[in-house]
Structure 1
Amino acid sequence: MSARRPVRDRGQVAVEFVGMVPLILLLVAAVWECVLIGYAFSLAGNAADEAARVGAVHGDGACDAAARRHIAGAWHMSVRCGASGDVYKATVELNLPVFFPGLDIGTPITGEGGSPKEEED
């Protein structure tokens, strides 16, 4: 009588790996998008703070230029500057990026900053 060979699971690991690759890539893309959104909030807030500090001394034109100096050209952005009583306020809006700056869905991310008005010497 001949002995039967045991059933082997050859290739099982490869099949499982190929099945998991799309899920792993989807998870990496979701984490990347979350990081990019957080970075956009950080950029908008920092640019608004810097713009408000410069605008409090030099006025609206310098405020806009200061905000744009802190944001790369790939980001779609808008800047609003102006005095509100004794405080000079700046608002920077960046469009929510999808996977990289420049490709966005038009949803704004807003950063606001304020600084007390100062007189230039």
Structure 2
Amino acid sequence: MRPMRGMGLLRIPRGERDRGQTVIEFVGVVPLILLLLVALWQCALVGYTFVLAGNAADEGARAGAAAERGGDGACAGAARKELSSAWDPDIACGPDGGSMYHATVTLHIPILIPGVLNGFPVDGTAAHVKER
């Protein structure tokens, strides 16, 4: 690099002064992109948990309503069959005293970053008419 005459200061040609800028911008943006991906994955887990809780409650209520005897056992068994053990379900089943059989499944959302959402519970409820 040669100093330019008449300016009194050392000037760097335009192509030389932008060198490395792309790398610096990339290093600065990558953590933000990764954080966004983790947040999107956590949102997907929340939605999936809602779907699983509702489906397990529906299957449990259907099995409990169709059972001749011991509807609570059939309800809990059918609801657990729809879920893996990783979801740690709490299942409550029983008739309402009328013609309906109710099931409630409570799941705890798995958290990617501990302490962010603290695994709030998600309830899924369903009811079916008892079969006679």
Q: Gaps (5+ residues) in structure 2?
A: 5-11
CA distance in 1, matches of 2:91, 2:104: 6
**Number of matched pairs:** 115
1:3-50 CA-partner distances (Å, limit 9, x unpaired): 645042111000000000111011001100000000000000000000
Q: Gaps (5+ residues) in structure 1?
A: none
Give the TM-score of the pair, scaled to structure 1.
0.88
Residues 17-36 of structure 1 aligned to structure 2 (within 5 Å)? 17-36=26-45
Match of 1:114 in 2: 127
Match of 1:41 in 2: 50
The amino acid that maps onto 2:100 is V
The amino acid that maps onto 1:15 is I
Name the larger-Rg structure.
2
Higher relative contact order (CA 8 A, sep 6+): 1
CA distance in 2, matches of 1:86, 1:6: 85
Q: Is the 8 A contact 2:46 2:109 kept in 1?
A: yes
1:77 CA drift (Å): 1.0
Which deviates more, 61-70 or 91-100? 91-100
**Is 1:72 matched with 2:84?**
yes
Q: Is the 8 A contact 2:111 2:119 kept in 1?
A: no
Give the TM-score of the pair, scaled to structure 2.
0.81
Secondary structure at the residue paired with 1:71?
Answer: coil
Q: Which of 86, 92, 102 is equivalent to 1:89?
A: 102
Q: Is the 8 A contact 1:36 1:99 kept in 2?
A: no
Secondary structure at the residue paired with 1:14?
Answer: helix
**Distance verdict in 2 for CA 1:26–1:54, change over 3 Å:** same
The amino acid that maps onto 2:65 is A
The amino acid that maps onto 2:13 is P
Q: Is the 8 A contact 1:91 1:111 kept in 2?
A: yes
| RMSD of aligned Cα (Å) | 1.7
1:81 CA drift (Å): 0.2
Higher strand share: 1
1:99 CA drift (Å): 2.4
Divergent runs of 4+, >2 A: 2-5
